[in-house]
Amino acid sequence: MSANMGEYLRTLDDAIDAVAAILELPSQRERLIQSTVKIMMCTHPEAREFLADSQALLIEGGLEALARKRHEMIEALEEETAVVVLNPEEDGLFDAVGSSLDALRLSEVAFRVFPELRRGVEAWRVARALRKNELRFEELVSQGIRRRGGEGYHQAQQNLEKLIHAEKPAWEERSGELRHAYHGYLRSAPHASETPVSDGEAIFATVATDDQLVAEMFDAMAQGPDAARDLARRTFDAVASLRTLLRDKAA
């Protein structure tokens, strides 16, 4: 491993080596301290993001910890501003979207550890595998980090691919309809987004990560185009609001 504990990190490879060394530390406290130090010592944006996401996934508690942080952030913001951030009627949608965005965020750890995944696997499929079998997902990503360059690395990648492909949604044959619902909404509301194509894909990926969100959209589509557009709008608003909150918090 090339990343010494006291060195600044300047590349993604350095960051992966640093996480491998951190995961070998004997205690949770030591791993958390060293991970936090490495994030502060990282000068490369992608590597820094990888370190932060690896810490969230492999050290701090994964999706449950991210959800707890998100709730605490929103509560703190409401206390600071004396403004209710969430519409109580949209709490369920907002929370579901937040959980999907968390899973999509942490799926990037797998793509950076196993870059070959990007050639044939969409991010929402990786996020679904993470949500369905988080412990196994973490185990395989950790193995890939620790065994990079060796046979264990290739075994971890193969097993992760099996985990991803085993999670095939029952609605997959209707995925085109689902995509069309979100892209169609953004086409009908040109002022909603400056990047409608990428935002349409972002909404689709967010929803595709959660079967309940998918079912709600299919129900809305069965009610008619107005209901489908309304749900697409509310979902897009939730995605955009969460992105803004998280970006502002990071700043």
Average pLDDT, the chain: 90
Q: Does 189 have pLDDT greater than 80?
A: yes
H helices present in 119-150, as ranges: 123-132, 134-146
Q: What is the mean pLDDT of residues 82-107?
A: 79
| DSSP 8-state assignment for residue 194 | S
Lookup: tokens for 159: 């097993």
* Block residue for tokens 């196993």: 114
| Rounded-to-5 percentages of helix, strand, coil across the chain | 80, 0, 20
Q: Among 99, 135, 66, which Cα is nearest to 209's? A: 99
Q: Please report the sign of the dihedral spanned by the C-alpha atoms of residue 67, residue 71, residue 74, residue 76.
A: negative
**Which pairs count as long-range contacts for 52-56, CB under 8 Å and 24+ apart, including other chains?**
53/105, 53/106, 53/108, 53/109, 54/15, 54/19, 54/109, 54/145, 56/105, 56/106
| Residue 228 clears pLDDT 90, i.e. is over it | yes
Taking Cα atoms as reference points, which of 80, 44, 43 lies closest to residue 245? 80
Question: What is the per-residue pLDDT for 85?
Answer: 53
Express each pLDDT in 68-89 by its tens digit: 988 888 777 766 664 445 555 5
Q: What pTM does this model have?
A: 0.89
Under 8 Å between Cβ of 35 and 55: yes
pLDDT in the model for residue 243: 85
Question: Average of pLDDT values for 163-186?
Answer: 94
The predicted pLDDT at position 244 comes to 84
User: 120 pLDDT exceeds 50?
Assistant: yes
Q: Give the pLDDT confidence of 132-160 residue by residue, as tens digits.
A: 999 999 999 999 999 998 889 999 999 99
246 pLDDT tier (thresholds 50, 70, 90): confident
**Contact present, 206 and 239 (Cβ < 8 Å):** yes
What span, in angstroms and rounded, lies between the C-alpha atoms of 64 and 69? 9
17, pLDDT greater than 80? yes
Q: Is 82 left (phi over 0), alpha (psi -120 to 50) or beta?
A: left
Average pLDDT on 37-59 reads 95
Q: What is the pLDDT of residue 245?
A: 79
Average pLDDT over residues 114-141: 96
Residue 5 has pLDDT above 60, yes or no: no
pLDDT of residue 90: 63
Q: Is the pLDDT of residue 2 over 50?
A: no
- pLDDT band at 122, cuts 50/70/90? very high
- Give the separation between CA 151 and CA 1, rounded to whole angstroms: 16
pLDDT of residue 1: 45
Q: Is the pLDDT of residue 102 over 70?
A: yes
